A and B are shown apart, each in its own frame.
Chain A
Amino acid sequence: MRDVKAPVLAWGAYLIVLGGSVAATKLVSGLMGHLFSLLCASIMASLILSFFMGLRVANNLLRVFALAGVMWLAIMLTLTMVDYVMRDIGECPNAQADDVARNAQGCPLDSAGNVRASDTGA
């Protein structure tokens, strides 16, 4: 059997990255921890694509097809999230910037201290 060393090394690298990702989840909370986990996931996926799915030695046409799949996903995620980020979904999607009294989530309150029905998206 030839070329056994590369996949075994990739397997070892994958496990190390996996360990780092899980450790980061316990040690680093919040956005930074989440971003690190997603970065680790990308590295692990790249290792599989390169060494177990053969993109490391594949011809360029095959690489373009594989990249097109990732690009499709990136375009869909980006366009979708740009829309939702700009429209401020979440606790109070219809909130106006000029409201004064707000609850802990930043939603505008009416005179009785309740989130207005028009601001809950209901």
Chain B
Amino acid sequence: MQVSGLTWRPFGRREPVLRGVTLQLGPGERVLLVGPSGSGKSTLLRALAGLLETADAGDLEGEVLVDGAAPGARPGAVGLVLQEPGTGVVAASVGRDVAFGPENVGMPPVAMPAVVASALSAVGLGDLPLDTPTSALSGGQTQRLALAGTLALDPWVVLLDEPTAMLDPRSAEDVRDAVAALTGVVRRSNRDEEWSGAPTEGLEGAGGHLVGERPPVLAGAATPTLVVVEHVLGPWVDLVDRLVVLSADGRVVADGPVRETLEIERHRLLDMGIWVPDEGPPPPLEVDPALIAPRRRPPDAVGGSGPAAALTAAPFTVERSTRLLDGTVRTRPAARLTSPLHAAPGTLTALVGPSGSGKSTVLHALAGFLDPTTADAVRVPTPGSGTPLGAVTVPGSGTSPGAGTAPGDLAAIDLARAMAWVPQWSSSTIVAATVLDEVLATSRVLGDVDPATSEHARSLLTTLRLGHLAGADPRQLSGGEQRRLAVAAALLHGPPVLLADEPTVGQDRRTWAAVVGLVAAYRSAGGAVVAATHDRHVVERATAVHRLEPPAGAVEPIRPAAVPLVARCGPLALLVGALLAIPAGVISPHWTTSLAVLATQALLALVGLSAPGPGTRSRGRLRTTGLRMLPGVVAALSVGWSTWFLAGRDLDPALTVALRVLVIVLPSAVLIPWIDPDRLGDHLAQRVRLPDRPVVATAAALQRVHSFGEVWGELARVRRIRGLGVSWRSPSSVAAHLGALTMGLLVRTLHAAAELAVAMDARGFATARARSWWLPAPWRWRDTLLVALATLPALVAVVAG
């Protein structure tokens, strides 16, 4: 790979992000690319993949050549794995996702299973069934799936953009194992090694294991060139042989063998905020405690029994219910707090445990966003009561379990007085248009708008090196800047408790020092902190550690339910069947006809929803269908009424339009729930011959619709805990809330689309002209039968009419 004189200025920036970058990468070479945040490391990776202009626009000079041609000349020649797990997932199942690249280059479907299987086993996912839902994978598995997706196209170059920054240590190690195997490195895993420079390393004491050399990924494939972007160098040093350093203004300032370069550039790297091996954590930033002192702390307990806790929790379990398509509900425990939690002034309580142990879920329950099973397990002081809480509130123990209030019962403004929350994605917490307004948002809601508060805010921003950005739009800040801003904005109004979800993960040394310094100052001023964390150095500072385990068992074995007849039909037949109701409704001239049509439809619905054959019986189907009919029934009634009213109080036309609505809606309620988005995509492209790329994009969007609900919930929680919730008595607050949430959801959605575009183009989607398909889209006799039966109501309408 030859990079010469690469300069890139995105529109909207006066200065280029990359300046005259020239690099030469040999076959099989393994390169670690480092630089301060904002130095254009990710941008350079996208340039190497030829994807700079995929989701951005700007002035580009210089060129990148892979084997003498542009990076996109052979689809998949340059593979790219993005930082955030899941951004590059294109399909709902593991097999289909890995096959995406082969599909784009038109690989014959018979050849796909072997390629997919070898790519999956190369990243250590060979044991996963191919129909495993991608949404069921952990973060580390998702990153390895992304790597498998690039391997399926036999890449010459593999680019990894901070692939482990958002993972817990064990998952990160799994990803590095996969990379090691890919490049043929024999290494001892450093699971049990000494502190290696990364703040998130070393907490999980799993036994070390030896990673042997695995066979090349795909038979006959050469070892690909590897470029990794990272700011935690320790775990990667053994995996690479060359280090390239970018400066803050986007130039290559050092380039050489990894160990020598690391030695020579050590101080420059530390200045850049990079985690260098054998270097302890930086000293925490000094923050004046007076700026963030908890001014809303509960009064100390009378009677000298020690300081009152601002938040207490008895052991609890959080359960999560999933409603399945056939109407049944499955409930399983999602997290379990096993010992009482007592957040007293000056303490730091750490929640630790492997990923999937429910640390975030416990935090959500502490903030009242989720209901724990002992409904009164979490207590905060009742607002305005002035009475302190007792000590630890344990049901059945001496103190009254009823003291205080559950956070879930507080109004938004009282919740903001009681606690603050910093979620893992700090970009989602933004509620204001400027950095200064962001810090002041909650104080304003609470009525603290005196000049002293503004002064505090400005001093705090200056301490965090955000002072010059006070007037900037917070959405335009870097990730590290947003993280510092999020903590500052959570603390300025002086809540007594701070709940923080992985406050230091993925941060460079500067932001790490700032966040740890803020937390230390807050504690010394009397604040209580509860943090979910993997960071060994945060845990070392804790006064109490709760180790969480993934809640065991209690998952009912899934007995296969009997499949109703309609669900055995293809998506096109289901769609056509639903659409055929329109002519049936339109050509019914009179309600007497419609009645006959409706009776036919109801009969067909009963047959279609029956489920002969083996499997458990489901009682939910008819009820679910009934629920789906409810809007149609309401519509029929109101349309019928208004027609009766407008058509001179004549019952005849009113009945006609009302029944017409029911005729049109009933088949949709029966058939549409059984349409699977991925299968619909398969059929629309292969049977209807709609253009491939829009169909694939639509299927990808459809399978992410469920995530919109999560994003919406997260944005709503952030607004609530910052005191910006809704009051149904004030319609304007409801409108503002809905507007802010919609806007936030759209911004997140658009970012997701841009990231997915990069991931898809890295796997040959841009040039996919003659795609092949992982699964065929057969039209079967039962599809014909369904369509034939679905025309019956229309025939009845003609005959009876």
Q: Do A and B bind each other?
A: no
Binding site for A on B (CB under 8 A): none
Binding site for B on A (CB under 8 A): none
